[in-house]
Amino acid sequence: MRCLWLERGRLELRTDRPAPSPGPGEALVEVRLAGVCATDLELLRGYAGFTGVPGHELVGTVVSADGATGWVGARVVAEINAACGACEACRAGLGRHCPTRTVLGIVGRDGAFADLVTIPVANLHRVPDAVPDEAAVFCEPLAAALEVAEQVHLGPADRVLLVGAGRLGQLVARVLALAGCDVLAVARHARHRELLERVGVATCGPDDVEARGRFGVVVEASGSPAGFELARRAVRPRGTIVLKSTYAAGRLELDASSIVVDEVTIVGSRCGPFAPALRLLERGAVDVAPLVEARYPIERGADAFEHAARPAALKVLLTMGRAS
Amino acid sequence: MRCLWLERGRLELRTDRPAPSPGPGEALVEVRLAGVCATDLELLRGYAGFTGVPGHELVGTVVSADGATGWVGARVVAEINAACGACEACRAGLGRHCPTRTVLGIVGRDGAFADLVTIPVANLHRVPDAVPDEAAVFCEPLAAALEVAEQVHLGPADRVLLVGAGRLGQLVARVLALAGCDVLAVARHARHRELLERVGVATCGPDDVEARGRFGVVVEASGSPAGFELARRAVRPRGTIVLKSTYAAGRLELDASSIVVDEVTIVGSRCGPFAPALRLLERGAVDVAPLVEARYPIERGADAFEHAARPAALKVLLTMGRAS
């Protein structure tokens, strides 16, 4: 089969990989469409020390499913954390935090930039007919955006600041807007601003935040230390900063005393729930179509990565030749 | 009147200060007893750039009260943040975060290491007869310990780790124990361990934490970067670290990506509610008597500070000659 192979900071097309063999409880999924995410770009720079097939945003068709033949032929999206199902975290319903988990295309498990991928049946979700492939492929990052609402109470009367208006920020903005919040987004690029204003989210530049007062909730989706500093200055006492991006630099400097004095809460936020993401896509409450920037066939994977790394780039999709 | 005067890193007894004049809405309070806190030791090292009379843990008797004569003669404790009462924070019930607040003996307002102190009437709380002065003087730090429960849901089935078992940690441990939590405290000193075990809190050394598994809530009350690192290692994914001490060093290094991946919440925590602190003292639910380490007359204020700074020191009290 064809796949993109990442090894030692290089990405290359391979056309001679054998089809993967699903293990117990796993499905074999034919990938229809996959999305390139910032994490994929980080993997290329060495994040998580990953060697193998990257790709964790996908929509596909089930070819086979161990012990669950009802799935065969289903169009699916898939949660990316493959949990043991038996440990304390799993028993507490926190499989996304299973300490021995593998993560699709990120940790110990080949991902979706390939014709075929194996995924635990327990991770699959059927895609409603009303949701086209190009929307379904956003399910994983939309679930990550919804995780903000899962962790932090977003009151409809809240004033919320969003720092970062790229791929993930655009989805977070849509979630915040649906909650009825008064949302201001810090956006550097005209295209990002325009997309946000279309969904009723006001925007400003980073230097204009101070004049807008303080915010009860600030979502930091830029992944930059400067974005975190901005979030820290903009949050009001007793307010909450949500860290929605992993930080390439890894470490941040924190003025701990000021966090204590102002009683600020900082919430790390990662993967989220798929079911509400699919519901919102099915209801048409979140329109992701304008966020698709480009489509590349898998053979042009390197070009797709290069495109996704451009400043202000939105979603770049990899097509396997079978997307609807 | 007599007072301890802090200026440029030096503390000295003054006996010739004029009695302070209460402003509008303020009471004049005769101090009966005052406690030395870690923040006072920090002030001496330059924290907050404070010049004046330190001291923010007190019990006293009201001498006069502008517009509220019913308070005269009452035995009182006092909240330490003097708020404007009119700004957005104050109107939202967050006077402790009023941006123009003064803070008793810490920011812009002389404190309680004196015969007399002025305090807004709005900050006073009557001390129930059943609460002796030596218990009432703990009201401010006990309120700060209760702030943990105000900010974070402490379920009775939660496993909670407490890092730091000194003055503040001992009070936090008592609050956690009352919530029914399974509490383990990291304590370096035999005296601290003994006091904790008396209230049913298990203890261990810092090197033994790892073997105890992970904790849903970790309260960091050591104020040291090493304590924070320990807290970070001990908290489980989706768990909460409460920062309960200001950090002398000010800044902490934070592995932001791991906070995101593990979805950890960090909560800064400062001053707390006085009313429940007084209720618990009145009910005898929190016994603070064993935490009193020494008493010094105000004339020996420098000795009291020196004593409070000793390793493992618990509460050092300053007496004005009128304590019950």
pLDDT at residue A11 greater than cutoff 90: yes
User: Distance from B248 to chain A by nearest Cα, in Å?
Assistant: 8
Interchain proximity A261–B246, CB inside 8 Å? yes
Q: What is the pLDDT of chain A when averaged over all its residues? A: 94
Q: How far apart are CA B37 and CA B293, in angstroms?
A: 12
Q: How far apart are CA A66 and CA A68, in angstroms?
A: 6
Global pTM exceeds 0.95: no
> Are B45 and B130 members of one domain?
yes
The answer as to whether B164 is a domain residue is yes
Kindly list the distances between the CA atom of residue A1 and the CA atoms of A238, A314, B25, B118, in Å, as whole numbers in the listed order. Answer: 53, 28, 80, 80
Asked whether B65 and B71 are in contact (CB, 8 A), the reply is: yes
Q: Which residue of B has its CA nearest to A81?
A: B261
Interface-testing mutation among B47, B257, B258, with chain A (most A C-beta atoms within 10 A): B257
Cα angle A213, A215, A221 (rounded to 5 degrees) comes to 120
Q: Which residues in A205-228 are b (16+ Cβ under 10 Å) and which e?
A: ebeebeeeebbbbbbbbbbbeebb
> Are B171 and B292 members of one domain?
no
User: Distance from B241 to chain A by nearest Cα, in Å?
Assistant: 10
The closest of A163, A44, A176, A167 to A111, measured between CA atoms, is A44
> Are B102 and B192 members of one domain?
no
The answer as to whether B84 is a domain residue is yes
The answer as to whether B121 is a domain residue is yes
The answer as to whether A250 is a domain residue is yes
- pLDDT tens for A131-190 read 999 999 999 999 999 999 999 999 999 999 999 999 999 999 999 999 999 999 999 999
> Are B147 and B132 members of one domain?
no
ipTM: 0.88
The answer as to whether B133 is a domain residue is yes
- pLDDT tens for A249-279 read 578 888 888 999 999 999 999 999 999 999 9
The closest of B217, B313, B210 to B267, measured between CA atoms, is B217
> Are B187 and B226 members of one domain?
yes
> Are A96 and A61 members of one domain?
yes
Asked whether A28 and A322 are in contact (CB, 8 A), the reply is: no
Contacts of B88 (CB under 8 A, 6+ apart): none
Q: How far apart are CA A98 and CA A81, in angstroms?
A: 8
Q: Which helix (H) or strand (E) holds B89?
A: helix B88-91
CATH number, domain with residue A102 = 3.90.180.10
Out of A94, A260, A268, the one facing B269 most closely (by C-beta) is A260
Q: How many domains does chain A have?
A: 2
Q: How far apart are CA B111 and CA B122, in angstroms?
A: 16
Give the pLDDT confidence score for residue A247 in this predicted structure. 67
Interchain proximity B263–A265, CB inside 8 Å? no
Contacts of A279 (CB under 8 A, 6+ apart): none
User: Distance from B81 to chain A by nearest Cα, in Å?
Assistant: 12
> Are A197 and A168 members of one domain?
yes
User: Distance from B148 to chain A by nearest Cα, in Å?
Assistant: 11
> Are B17 and B68 members of one domain?
yes
> Are A9 and A134 members of one domain?
yes
> Are A105 and A152 members of one domain?
no
Give the pLDDT confidence score for residue A48 in this predicted structure. 80
Asked whether A3 and A14 are in contact (CB, 8 A), the reply is: yes
User: Distance from B54 to chain A by nearest Cα, in Å?
Assistant: 18
Contacts of B184 (CB under 8 A, 6+ apart): B159, B160, B161, B162, B201, B202, B203, B204, B209, B212, B215
Asked whether A314 and A293 are in contact (CB, 8 A), the reply is: yes
Q: How many CB pairs below 8 Å do chains A and B form together?
A: 115
B236 phi and psi angles, rounded to 5 deg: -85, 160
Out of B246, B262, B265, the one facing A257 most closely (by C-beta) is B246
> Are A258 and A161 members of one domain?
yes
The answer as to whether B312 is a domain residue is yes
The whole domain housing A127 covers 3-138+288-319
Q: Which residue of B has its CA nearest to A266?
A: B266
Strand partners, B114: B3
Give the pLDDT confidence score for residue A248 in this predicted structure. 61
B207 phi and psi angles, rounded to 5 deg: -80, -10
Q: Please give the share of chain A, as a percent, with pLDDT higher than 70.
A: 98
Q: How far apart are CA A266 and CA B150, in angstroms?
A: 17
- What would the two tokens of residue B93 be? 């019930």
CATH number, domain with residue B263 = 3.40.50.720
Interchain proximity B263–A262, CB inside 8 Å? no
Q: Residues of A at the B interface (Cβ-Cβ below 8 Å)?
A: 89, 94, 97, 99, 147, 151, 228, 236-238, 243-247, 250-270
- pLDDT tens for A185-220 read 999 999 999 999 999 999 999 999 999 989 999 999
The answer as to whether B79 is a domain residue is yes
> Are B150 and B208 members of one domain?
yes
The answer as to whether A275 is a domain residue is no
Interface-testing mutation among A88, A267, A269, A271, with chain B (most B C-beta atoms within 10 A): A267
Interchain proximity B254–A252, CB inside 8 Å? yes
Confidence of residue B247 (pLDDT cuts 50, 70, 90): low
